[in-house]
Amino acid sequence: MKLTKSITYVVVTPVRDEASNIHHTIESFANQTILPKQWVVIDDGSTDATGQIADEAARKYPWITVIHRRNRGFRKTGGGVIEAFYDGYELVRDQSWDFIAKMDADLGFAADYFERCFEIFEKDPKLGLGGGLVWEHRDGRLVVGSAGDPAFHVRGATKVYRRECWQQIGGLIKDLGWDTVDELKANMLGWRTYTFKGLKLTHYKPTGAADGVWGRLLKAGRANYVTGYHPLFMVLKCIKRLTRRPYCVGSLGLWLGFVSGYLKRAPKVADEPLIRWVRDQQLRQLCLKSSLWRQKSVHHHPTA
C-alpha cells in the first residue's frame, strides 16, 4: 500500500550524553523518504559532545532545531525526559502537522521507516499511536527489546501519535509511566495502539541502561504504581516475571518499586476515570474475560 495523500510530521527528541550514538539517528532522519517538517532536539544538559554534534547537524539540515537546557547535575529519568520534551514541543505545538513523534537519539532505522509507519496509520483510521519494533544489543547479540510486552504497548523510544489522538489524550504526563499512560488513555478513548512488528529500529543504548538492571526494575514497578495498576494484577505480573531473567530478582524489584509508591504516598496519575478503567480492565484479565491485556498482536508488513 502506498500513501494516498501527503503527510506532515514533526519530531521531538530529548537527549542527554549520547555523543557516541546520536549520529545514527541524525543519519537515519537525513535519509528518510519523507523528511520531518521540523525535528527539535533538546540537549538536556549533556556533559559530552552531544550538543555540539546536534548543532553541527542543525547547520547542515534546516529542518533540525536544537535547544540547550542547563545541566541539572544528574540524569532525571521519567519526568525529566518529558520536561525536556515539552521545551521542544512548544516550538511545534501550534504548527500544522498530521503526526508528532517522540524519538530517542540513539536509534537507527531504515530510510522508509516513517513512510511505512504512515502507510499503516492510513490503513487503520482508529490507530492513534504506533511505532516500530525495537531491537537492542545485549551480550553481543541483537534481540527484541519488547519481549513480553502487552500487544497495546509501543516502546517509549519510538512513539508516533496521530494529531487527533495526541490532542484527546492531553499529551504526556511528567512522571514515570508516561509511556504507558498515553497508551491506556488512548485505548480508553476508543483508539488503537500497537507496535509495527514489520518495522525494525536498532536501539544502540537500551532503555534504562544508565539505571542498571536493579534500578530499571524498581523504576518499572514505581511506574506501574503511578499508572494506577491494581495490586492483585501486580501480584500476578510479578509471579509471571519469575520465569524471566533475572530470575526472582526481577519480580522482587518490580514489587518493591510498586509498593514503594504506597509507602511514600507518592501521587498517581491525576486521572481517576483512567485509573478506574485500567483497574477494571485488569480485573477482567484476572477473571479470564476480554480485556486490553488479552488483545493479540497486530502484524503489519506494508509494502516498501
Find the CATH number of the domain harbouring 140. 3.90.550.10
Q: How far apart are CA 298 and CA 304, in angstroms?
A: 18
Is residue 280 domain-resident? yes
Q: Supply the pLDDT for residue 210.
A: 60
Q: Are residues 77 and 222 in the same domain?
A: no
Based on the fold, state whether residues 270 and 231 are members of the same structural domain.
Answer: yes
Residue 300 lies in a domain: no
Whether omega for the bond prior to residue 246 falls within 30 degrees of 0, making it cis, is: yes
Q: Is residue 164 in some structural domain?
A: yes
Q: Residue-wise pLDDT tens for the chain (304 aa)?
A: 688 889 999 999 999 999 999 999 999 999 999 999 999 999 999 999 999 999 999 999 999 999 999 887 666 666 789 999 999 999 999 999 999 999 999 999 999 999 999 999 999 999 999 999 999 988 788 889 877 789 999 999 999 999 999 999 999 999 999 999 999 999 999 999 999 999 999 999 866 566 688 999 999 999 999 999 999 999 999 999 998 888 899 999 999 999 999 999 999 999 999 999 999 999 999 999 999 999 987 756 544 3
- Whole-number Å distance between alpha carbons of 142 and 152: 23
**Are 200 and 104 members of one domain?**
yes
Whole-number Cα distances in Å, 107 to 30, 113, 304: 13, 12, 20
Distance CA 243, CA 219 (A): 20
Q: Record the cell numbers describing residue 297, joined without a space.
A: 498482536
Q: Are residues 222 and 105 in the same domain?
A: no
Q: Could you tell me where the beta strands, DSSP code E, fall in 175-223?
A: 192-203
Q: Is residue 128 in a domain?
A: yes
Number of domains in the chain: 2
187 and 48: one domain?
Answer: yes
Look at residue 289 and tell me if it is in a domain: yes
Q: What's the pLDDT at 207?
A: 63
- Range of the structural domain that residue 243 is part of: 212-294
- List CB contacts of 70: < 8 A, sequence separation 6 or more: 45
What is the DSSP-derived secondary structure letter of residue 293? G
Of 175, 207, 239, the one marking the end of a domain is 207
193 within some domain: yes
| Whether residue 265 sits in one domain with residue 164 | no
Are 202 and 285 members of one domain?
A: no
Domain boundary among 183, 207, 231: 207
Question: Would you say residue 304 lies in a domain?
Answer: no
Are residues 244 and 129 part of one domain? no
Q: How far apart, in whole angstroms, are the C-alpha atoms of residue 216 and residue 228?
A: 19
Alpha-carbon torsion (158, 161, 166, 168), positive or negative? negative
Domain finish residue from 148, 182, 207:
207
Whether 3 and 118 have beta carbons less than 8 Å apart is answered as yes
What Å distances lie between residue 264 and 268, 271, 278, CA to CA? 11, 19, 22
Question: Does 38 share its domain with 138?
Answer: yes
pTM reported for the whole predicted model:
0.93
Do both 234 and 266 map to the same domain? Answer: yes
User: Cell 476480554 belongs to which residue?
Assistant: 290
Is 247 part of a structural domain of the chain?
A: yes
